Structure 1
Amino acid sequence: MIRRMTNRRVLTDAPLLDAAAGRTPSRRPVWFMRQAGRSLPEYREIRANIGMLESCFRPDLLAEITMQPVRRHDVDAAILFSDIVVPLKAAGVDLDIVPGRGPVVAHPVRTAADIDALPGFDPDQVAAVVEGIGAILGELTDRQALIGFAGAPFTLASYLIEGGPSRNHERTKALMHSEPALWDRLMSRIDPLITGFLRAQIDAGVDAVQLFDSWAGFLTERDYRRHVLPHSARILGAIADAGVPRIHFGVGTGELLGAMAAAGTEVVGVDWRMPLDIAARRISAALQDDDPADGRGDSARALQGNLDPAILFAGESAVQAEVRRILAEADRAIDRGDARGHIFNLGHGVLPDTDADAITRTVDFVHAQPPAPR
C-alpha cells in the first residue's frame, strides 16, 4: 500500500528502505549502479543521436531510461538517470560530456575570480528533472524505491579545476595544499549546488539519495578529513531533516570508509576491493574513535555492495559463488553488530558490454537468498 504525503510516497514494504533502516526486509534488496543505461539495448536505441546531457534534461527520456532496468531486472530500486555534472550544467557552467573522454569544462576554475564567477543554484534550473521524477514515481510499485543522485564536492571540484577527467588530479591537489583557503572557497561555492540538486530531488519525491565521490579514493585519509569531509558533511547534514536514507559511495575508498561514514549517512557503499565484513569493522571502529560516547549500535551503518562488475562476464556459477561470499560477509558483519543491514549492489557501475541477461539472473539469485539476519 502507498500512502501519499505531499510528493513523498510512504512505502510500507520496500526492501531497500527496510535494509537501510536496520529492519529485516522481505527479501534481500538489490540494485546496480549505472543500471540505467549502458548495457541495455533498449537504452542504446532510445539514446541514438541524443547527447548524454540532453537526455538528462528531457523528462520523457530520463524517466524512460530510469525505468528500463526496473522493468527488465525486477531490481528493488530505480536510480535516477543523471550525471555527476548535471547540477553544474543546470547552474550554467559551460561544459559538455565528450564521448570517450567524459565531462569537459570549457573554462577551468583555478583563480579566486574564477571561483567568484561560478553561478548559483535555482531549483527552476532542474524543473525538467523534477518533472521526470514525477513520471517515474507514477510507474514504480510500492516495493520499489527511487534513489536520487548527485556527485560529491571533491569530484565536482576536480572536474572544474582540471577541466575534465584526470589521471592524477595534480592541479586539484596543488590548489588544495598550496592555497587551502582558496580551496575552501571553491568548495563552499560547490556545496550549495549539490545540496540544492539533492533537495530538489527530495522535494520531488525520491525515496533515498546517493552522494557519489568518484575520485575521493585518490586522497589520503588525512587530506580527506581536512579538505573534503567538512563539505560532504555539510551537504548530507543539510538534507538530514528530509528523513530519507542517505548513501555515501566512493571508488577506491577502502582507507576512507570511516571518514565517509562520519560525514553523516545511513548507508555506506563499498567497492569490490574491500570485503564487506572488514569494511563494516573499519566503519564501526572509526565512528567509535570519533565519538567514544556512542554505543555500538550508533556506530553501525548499513552496507551497500559489492560485486566486482567484471565478474558478470565470468559465467553464472562464478557469479553465484561471489554472491554467496558477499552475502556471507555482510551477514557476519550484521551478526557482529558492525553493520545494520545490507543492500546488494556492484562495487562500481555496470560495464557497458555486460550481458543484460546476466544482470537479471544475478538479481534473481540474490532475491532467492534469505534476507540479512536481524
Structure 2
Amino acid sequence: MTFAPLQNDTFLRACMRQATDHTPLWLMRQAGRYLPEYCATRAKAGSFMGLATNVDYATEVTLQPLERYPLDAAILFSDILTIPDAMGLGLSFAQGEGPKFAKNVRDEAAVAELAVPDMDKLRYVFDAVTSIRKALNGRVPLIGFSGSPWTLACYMVEGGGSDDYRAVKTLMYRRPDLMHRMLAINADAVALYLNTQIDAGAQAVMVFDSWGGVLADGNFQDFSLAYTRRVLAQLKRTGVDGQVVPRIVFTKGGGLWLQDMKPLDCEVLGLDWTVNLGAARALVGSGEHAKALQGNIDPNVLFAEPAQIAAEAERVLRSFGAPHTDKTTTGPTHIFNLGHGISQYTPPESVAALVEAVHRVSKQMRAGA
C-alpha cells in the first residue's frame, strides 16, 4: 500500500520528542455528537454500530472535524468494544445510552469460551483505517486505537458501563486466576488488533485504559499495567510506509502511578485533567525512558466563553513549561488534548476557540513571548 506523503507531521514529531513549530492538538472523541454533521451522518447510518461498521460512513465522520478545525491528527472512528463484540458477546448501543453486551463474562465457563478473535470479524475496522488514510491524502497522521485489556475486561464482566465496578472487582478479588486468564487473552487480542490497524495504515496507536484509575494501588500494577505492558511488547515498531509508529498509553485517573508507567515501552503518556503537567514533565519528561506527554485540559472548560477557553488553554500550555526547541536533539514535548473525551453538548465554536488559542499561544511561547 502506498499513501500520499505527510504534509503536517507535527503530531508525530512531538510523539518522538522532537522539536515542533507549535504544540500539536487533537481531541479525544473529536468525531462525535457535538458536531451537527456527525449527527446527520449517524441518522443516515441508523445506529452507532451502523456508522462504525460502514467504511464510507466511518471515513466521512473521521474527516468531519478536520474540515472544521486545523487539527494536527485524525483518529479512527470506531469504538473500544469492537474486540469483545468479535469474541461473541453481542455489542449494541441504544440511542442516548451507553454500550450493552448481550452476554457477560463472570464465571469459569464464560472465561473458558474466550479466545483471541479472528481478525476477519473486524475487517470493517481495518478497511476503515485504509479508507481514512487515503481520504486524508497526507493532510495529518491517522491514529488507531484500542481499549486496554483491563478496560475491556471491565465491560465484559459488567455487561456495559458501571458506577461501582462491583461485578468486575468481585471477580478480581474472588477469582484472580480467572481475571488474569481473561486479561492475558485480551492483551493478545489487543496487540493483534493494533498490529492489524498498523498494517492497514495507522501511523500511531493509542491504548485507552479508561477504567484503570478505579483500581487500588497494587491492583493497578497487577491487573492493568502488567497487561498494557504485554500489549506494548508485541506491537510493531514501523508502519506500512516504513516510518516509526508511536504508541500512546492513556490511563484515566492514572496520575498517581506515573512513576510506575515511566518504564513502559511506549513513546507518549496521556494525562487526565487532575495531573499537573509541569510535575508530570519533571517525573517522566526527561532522562531514561523519557515520555512525551499528552493532555490535559478539562473538557468542561469548553462550556466557558471563548476568552476563558483561551486563558485556560494558555494555562495548560504554560503549566507544561518552556517548549523543546532544539531541532538537533530530542527533549520534553507536549501534545495538547482534553483530559478525557469531548462532551456531546460542547458548542462547536468552543472547539474553534480552543484550537486557535493553542496554536497561537504555543507559537508565541516558542518565539520567547
TM-score > 0.5 by shorter chain: yes
SS at match of 1:48: helix
In structure 2, how many angstroms separate the alpha carbons of the residues matched to 1:27 and 1:40?
26
After TM superposition, the structure 1 = structure 2 runs for residues 300-311 of structure 1, keeping only pairs within 5 Å, are 300-311=290-301
Alpha-carbon separation, structure 2, partners of 1:253 and 1:97: 28
**3-state SS of the aligned residue for 2:61?**
helix
Q: Determine the structure 2 residue equivalent to 1:86.
A: 82
For the Cα contact (< 8 Å) 1:93–1:119, is it kept in 2?
no
Aligned ranges 1:1-374 → 2 under 5 Å: 6=1, 11=6, 13-48=8-43, 50-242=46-238, 243-283=244-284, 296-332=286-322, 340-371=332-363
SS of the equivalent of 1:298 reads: coil
**Deviation at 1:332?**
4.7
Per-residue deviation at 1:264? 2.2
Q: Work out whether residues 56 and 86 of structure 1, in 8 Å CA contact, stay in contact via their aligned partners in 2.
A: no
* Cα separation, partners in 2 of 1:346 and 1:28, compared to 1, 3 Å: same
Question: Shift of the alpha carbon at 1:281?
Answer: 2.9
Structure 1 residues 200 and 240, CA gap change in structure 2 (3 angstroms): closer
Q: Which residue number corresponds to residue 287 of structure 1?
A: none
**Offset, 1:172:** 1.3
C-alpha distance after superposition, 1:54-91 (max 9, x if no partner)? 21111001100101001111101011111110122234
Q: Distance in 2 between matches of 1:198 and 1:238?
A: 10
CA contact (8 A) 1:257 1:282 kept: yes
Paired with 1:153 and 1:217, the residues of 2 have a C-alpha distance of 14
Code of the residue aligned with 1:303 in structure 2: it is L
Shift of 1:250: 2.1
Distance across 2 between alignment mates of 1:164 and 1:233:
25
Give 1:292's aligned residue: none
Deviation at 1:313, TM superposition (A): 0.9
Distance 1:334 1:181 in 2: 45
Compared CA separation, residues 114 and 91, structure 1 to 2 (3 A): closer
Count of aligned positions? 357
Gaps of 5+ in 1: 1-5, 285-295
Which of the pair is proportionally richer in strand?
Answer: 1
Q: Please tell me the residue identity of whatever aligns with 2:274.
A: R
Tell me how large the CA RMSD over aligned residues is. Answer: 2.3
Distance of 2:137 and 2:80 partners within structure 1: 27
Contact 2:18 2:331 in 1 (8 A): no
Distance 1:211 1:41 in 2: 28
Greater mean deviation of Cα atoms: 241-250 or 349-358:
241-250
Deviation at 1:282, TM superposition (A): 3.8
Task: State the percentage of identical aligned residues.
Answer: 36
Q: 1:7 to 1:201 in 2, by over 3 A?
A: farther
Supply the distance in 2 between the matched residues of 1:65 and 1:220 (Cα, whole angstroms). 37
User: Post-superposition shift, 1:316?
Assistant: 1.1
Distance in 2, Cα, partners of 1:200 & 1:154: 20
CA distance in 2, matches of 1:301, 1:90: 33
Q: In the superposition, relative to structure 1, how do residues 113 and 145 fare at CA in structure 2: closer, same or farther (>3 Å)?
A: same
Measure how far apart 1:119 and its partner are: 4.1
Point out where structure 2 has 5 or more consecutive residues left out of the alignment.
239-243
**2:241 is matched with which residue?**
none
- Please give the secondary structure, in 1, of the residue aligned with 2:93: strand
Further displaced range: 210-219 or 89-98: 89-98
Q: Which moved more, 1:115-124 or 1:59-68?
A: 115-124
Is the 1:92–1:119 Cα contact (8 Å) retained in structure 2? no
Rounded to whole Å, the distance in 1 between the matches of 2:338 and 2:3 is 27
Judge which range, 304-313 or 165-174, deviates more.
165-174
TM-score by length of 2: 0.90
| Alpha-carbon distance between aligned partners in 2 of 1:124 and 1:345, rounded to the nearest angstrom | 32
2:94 partner amino acid: V
One-letter amino acid matched to 1:300 = A
How far apart are the structure 2 equivalents of 1:9 and 1:230?
37
Residue 321 of structure 2: SS of its match in structure 1?
Answer: helix
Aligned partners of 2:323, 2:24: CA distance in 1, in Å? 17
SS for the counterpart of 1:209 is: strand
Aligned residue type for 2:125:
V
Using the alignment, how far apart are the partners of 2:2 and 2:94 within structure 1? Answer: 35
Residues 78-118 of structure 1 deviation map (CA, whole Å, 9 limit, x = unaligned): 11111110122234322212334312122211112101112
The one-letter code of the counterpart of 1:78 is A
Q: Distance in 2 between matches of 1:263 and 1:44?
A: 38
**Matched residues in 1 for 2:98 and 2:263: separation?**
30
Asked if 2 retains the 8 angstrom alpha-carbon contact of 1:14 and 1:142, the reply is no
Distance 1:256 1:168 in 2: 21
